Structure 1
Amino acid sequence: MDHRDHSSERSSEDTATASLSLLEQKEVPLADVSQPQSRVKPWLIHAVLLGISFLIFLIAFTLQPTLFQCTRQLSPYSPIIEEGIVKYESKNFENDFHQPSAYRGPPNEATEEAWEGLWHAPAIRVPGENLALLNKSTDQAWLHAPPLSDREDFAALVDVFHQLHCVNALRLAVHKENYYNHFGEWPHGTGPEFTDKLKTMHLDHCIELLRINLMCVADVTPLLFVEDPNAFQGKTPDFNTMHKCRNFWEIREWVFDNMALP
């Protein structure tokens, strides 16, 4: 009886020891398994974040407005813009007091030809359906362009040429005596056949047009000064300022190629 009891106790102890060993063996792999998981998770998070960042960059790059879209946003409607003709270039103005220019100085054949090539331009077509984009009423009796199709088109000057015409009118008013001495006749619009009232009204209109346009554009380019003790007030303005300019000559070429009225 005692022998069986001792054997039973030893058997129980062996069983308990085996169970404890089994538990210890089971605990070790659990610790080992959890370790690789803690290494994988950060890598996965970094990969996901990198992918999201790349996706955001791609979307931002794709949604960036094009030059054409910016031009449309910052300008009223124009067929020239819609045709994608307008481009931009950076250039310095060359405008010192004594800077040579084809457009400066007393009138002669060369200066008059140069100015004629600036402001004289034909009318272009504006589709009637786009009048509202110019804040114009369809009830007005606008001048029609010769029909090319069933579409109703109207004739319109491009405003830059009207503005240049006004600059030229002011130039001729300043140089009208020199013009007469060289050509033997008065510049158009300045002769005695026009009353002083009419001539003044025209020039006032041009001055007002240029004032409105300059204030509308509101050029904010910095104009620097050079220190010069011999100059007036000890400084000289640098008129050669940097600007972002539209491609005037290409615009002019398109206008002539798409003439509605001469």
Structure 2
Amino acid sequence: MTSTYYSHTKDSDVGEYVELEQQEPLLYPPGKDNGTEEAEESFGNDLSPLRLILYFAGIILLSFSCFATLHILLTPPAPSIEPPKIFQELLYSPVEHLVRYKLQKFHTGFFDDEEPSVFDGPSTDAMDKAWTDLYDIYTYAISSLTEEENKHLPDPTVPSFGNMSRLYGGLDVFHQLHCLDYVRMAIEPERYGNSHSKHSLRGKRRASKDLPHVSDAEHVSHCIDMIRQSLMCSADISVISWYMPEASSPEHTPKPLPRFDQTRMCRDFDGLRDWARSRTPDADGLESVMPHADHGHGNGHNRF
């Protein structure tokens, strides 16, 4: 089937129509009637059962999406609720909102490329001061609490001499550090002798008639077991990997050794210590819970 095309041409005075030669159309392949048959076939395919099902399914999904969107837009927002924290549900702490985590590589003292640590090596005056700065009882170990904070404690503290403005507690990390330091000094009697017990648990209990006498040996035993329980409580799950050391000689065959300097995820200790410093009781408050305490810090080995 062919088609006839007309063109409007202008002669000198009169416009006339000139019949063009029959041509095959450019937009359709040879043998097709201007694509009519192909269009009919395509339309028939579009109406196949599968296409009809997909067509109506699309309409249903689009309608559902529109309805859901309108429902979300028109429904008043629910009051915001802070997601429950596991720690908060199990045990309250007044500093839980201050807890931050950081990655920290441990110091072992075994590797030559490690930076020196004041806590490593033989005891020195600098080491004693570094330990005292970690948990100083007059700065960090005893903290003032508010009545509201005290209400949430699993074991509320009692006011000092009935004065509700003097509610004292302390973050356990500072007691744990004290215990570790106490054991450190106990194994070096040639340096510390009995001086490390000047502000010890024994010294404090002697100052109070309500508490029994505790010997140095009992104090050390208490501290060791407190450290044990603390380690098991925190249960560090960092993985200790192994490495192959270099051979010390051609005859030496090295064996894999554990390395203890892995990077760990730690709580930011400095932030917690800052909070404890901001809650330090005044001198009268300290005296009320630590009678006869040496507020001048004595020889620098002030202890619990």
- TM-score interval (norm. to shorter): 0.5 to 0.7
Instruction: Say whether residues 1:114 and 2:133 are aligned partners.
Output: no
Deviation string 1:42-78 (CA, Å, 9 cap, x unpaired) is 154157469979x8xxx9xx98948xx35524x6212
**Where does structure 1 lack aligned partners over 5 or more consecutive residues?**
1-31
Which residue of structure 1 aligns with residue 223 of structure 2?
206
Which residue of structure 2 aligns with residue 218 of structure 1?
235
TM-aligned CA distance change 1:236 to 1:37, over 3 Å: closer
- What letter matches 2:197 in structure 1? G
Which residue of structure 1 aligns with residue 95 of structure 2?
80
**Where does structure 2 lack aligned partners over 5 or more consecutive residues?**
1-46, 204-213, 287-304
Say whether the 8 Å CA contact 1:229–1:235 is kept in structure 2: no
CA distance in 2, matches of 1:143, 1:79: 17
CA distance in 1, matches of 2:186, 2:272: 28
Which residue of structure 2 aligns with residue 135 of structure 1?
154
TM-aligned CA distance change 1:145 to 1:111, over 3 Å: farther
TM-aligned CA distance change 1:229 to 1:146, over 3 Å: same
Deviation string 1:181-223 (CA, Å, 9 cap, x unpaired) is xxxx754228xx99xx811111100000011111111212111
Say whether the 8 Å CA contact 1:124–1:155 is kept in structure 2: yes
Q: How does 1:59-98 map to 2 (within 5 A)?
A: 65=83, 69-73=85-89, 76-81=91-96, 84-97=97-110
Which residue of structure 2 aligns with residue 104 of structure 1?
120
1:157 pairs, out of 163, 167, 170, with: 170
- What letter matches 1:188 in structure 2? H
TM-aligned CA distance change 1:51 to 1:79, over 3 Å: farther
Secondary structure at the counterpart of residue 234 of structure 1: coil
Instruction: Say whether residues 1:244 and 2:265 are aligned partners.
Output: yes
CA distance in 1, matches of 2:145, 2:196: 29
Q: How many residues align?
A: 205
TM-aligned CA distance change 1:102 to 1:65, over 3 Å: farther
Which residue of structure 2 aligns with residue 188 of structure 1?
196
Q: TM-score, normalised by structure 2?
A: 0.54
Deviation string 1:148-206 (CA, Å, 9 cap, x unpaired) is xxx665211211000000111111122332x35xxxx754228xx99xx8111111000
Q: TM-score, normalised by structure 1?
A: 0.62
TM-aligned CA distance change 1:175 to 1:104, over 3 Å: farther
CA distance in 2, matches of 1:187, 1:130: 37
